[in-house]
Structures are given as C-alpha cells and as structure tokens.
C-alpha cells in the first residue's frame, strides 16, 4: 500500500488525483497546509505527496511552485483531473430549504452562474471537502457544501445538484512529489527553474539553447525571486526526459549560461 499525503480533508480533489494516479490501494494522509505535504515527503513519512500545479481557469498555483524550488524533491508524475463540483447536504434536505452554502472561495467562484440563480448566502471556507465534513460533523440543517462526489460518499451526504460548475472545461493538473526519480516513459516532460543575468539578451540566449536543438518548450512563466526584490526566476517545461542525450546537452549549456538551474523532475507526461 502506497502512503500519500495531500492538502485538505478526505474527499478533496487532491485525493481524487491520487486515486487516479496510484489506484485504490492508498494510505491517505490529509494535511492542513501545502508546506506540510512537502515536509512529510522530505522526512520520509510518506512516499509521495500530491499537490496542485495549475488550473485551466485560474492558472498556476504559485505556492506549489515556490515550494518546489525550496525543497529537494522530484516531480515523479503528473495527472490531469476534471474538476466537477456538486452541491450536497445532509440526507433529507431539499434545495428549496437551503439557506447557506459553504465551500472554498475558488469553488464558489467556479459555480457562480448556478449560485446566482439561487439567491442563497454563500460562506467561504478553507477547503471544499472540509465544508462537507463540517456539515456532517455539526449536523448543519438547511446548509449545503460544494465539493466533489467523493466527499459526498465519504461523509454520507446527499447530492442536491451535480456538475454545477459554470465552465465544464475545468481541469486541474496535479503532480506527485517524491525523493524518487521517475524512469523514462513513452511520452515525457521535464520541469525546471532557472534565473538569468539581469542584462539585455540573457533570456533570448537561454531560449536559443532549446530552439537550436528543436526542444519544444510547453511552458515558460516568471515568478518573483525570493532573494532579490524586482528580479525573477523562470519556470519552464519541455517535452523529453533528461536520460536523452540532446536534453542532457541542453541542460549542461543552460547551467553555463544561467545563474541558477534546478531540475524539478523528468517524468511521464499526462494526456
């Protein structure tokens, strides 16, 4: 049985992502904070952590990127999860009787069109699954939560309305972090972070390292440096595994050209 940590209560979308990646035989360890997931993996208390990287609507999860830079761990795999929200309440409740809806602010925002038709008070909570757990434990009548179907199953709640998200094309990319390194698969991706000299043409020269080798960059995003105000680091993804000769050569040249290079992982690419 694989031991996996994730941020949130049981029934969180991170738990769905872990089940999709590792199957059903998992010993789950819920955490309050994302940083705690990284700490548990670093301390060998779990084999893997599941953390969100990017949402198709809201963009990158900045805290995850900062933690990947801070901790000496590897991205071992990635998984893309369709995020589908359900409105749920205690058994016997009806939608007409609901006066308050709890959920994470992002989930509330993603269901805004559905909620606007109800004229019901919404209350932000720290976690989608945590909202479902609260309703179950406190036996909150006339209240509902927005969370995953898995959360409804875990906490014995009835789904009053399924698939209430405004945009059906709502996906979140999660990654498994580990001390282990992933072996090459049929389709691979490498993620890294780098910093450049603060001078004209430095980023142009680095991008040329990949372009001249016909390496396809699939992501390039800047984040503020944590050490120098108004300077930035760049997070990049490219297709390929560092076991390949051309990718090794590219990274060697990158290390000569950049002021900082950290490989976050080479791992199977999710479809």
Q: Which residues are catalytic?
A: 172, 174
Within a 13 Å sphere around the CA of 31, how many CA atoms are in the beta-carbon half?
21
CA angle at 266 for the pair 203 and 240, rounded to the nearest 5° = 70
Give me 201's structure tokens: 């043409």
Give me 113's structure tokens: 């069109």
CA 52 to chain centre: 1
Residues 194, 258 contacting (CB under 8 angstroms): yes
What b/e sequence results for 207-241 when a residue is b if at least 16 CB atoms lie within 10 Å of its CB, and e otherwise? eebbeeeebeeeeebeeeeeeeeeeebbbbbbebb
């Amino acid at each position: 049985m694989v031991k996996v940590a994730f941020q949130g209560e049981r029934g969180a979308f991170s738990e769905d992502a872990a089940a999709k990646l590792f199957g059903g035989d998992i010993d789950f360890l819920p955490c309050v904070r994302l940083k705690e997931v990284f700490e548990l993996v670093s301390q060998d208390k779990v084999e893997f952590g599941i953390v969100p990287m990017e949402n198709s609507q809201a963009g990158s999860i900045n805290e995850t990127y900062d933690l990947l830079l801070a901790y000496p761990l590897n991205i071992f795999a990635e998984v893309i999860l369709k995020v589908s929200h359900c409105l749920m309440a205690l058994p016997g409740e009806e939608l007409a009787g609901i006066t308050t809806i709890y959920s994470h602010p992002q989930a509330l925002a993603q269901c805004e069109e559905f909620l606007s038709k109800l004229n019901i008070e919404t209350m932000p909570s720290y976690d989608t699954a945590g909202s479902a757990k609260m309703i179950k434990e406190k036996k909150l009548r006339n209240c509902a939560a927005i969370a995953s179907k898995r959360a409804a199953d875990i906490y014995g709640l009835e789904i009053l309305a399924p698939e209430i998200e405004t945009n059906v094309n709502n996906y979140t990319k999660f990654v498994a972090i580990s001390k282990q390194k992933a072996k090459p698969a049929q389709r691979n991706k490498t993620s890294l972070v780098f910093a450049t000299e603060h001078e004209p043409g430095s980023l142009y020269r680095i991008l040329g390292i990949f372009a001249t080798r016909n390496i396809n960059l699939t992501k390039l995003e800047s984040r503020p440096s944590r050490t120098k105000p108004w300077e930035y680091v760049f997070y990049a993804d490219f297709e390929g595994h560092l076991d390949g000769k051309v990718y090794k050569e590219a990274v060697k040249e990158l290390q000569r050209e950049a002021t900082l290079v950290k490989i976050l992982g080479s791992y199977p690419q999710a479809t």
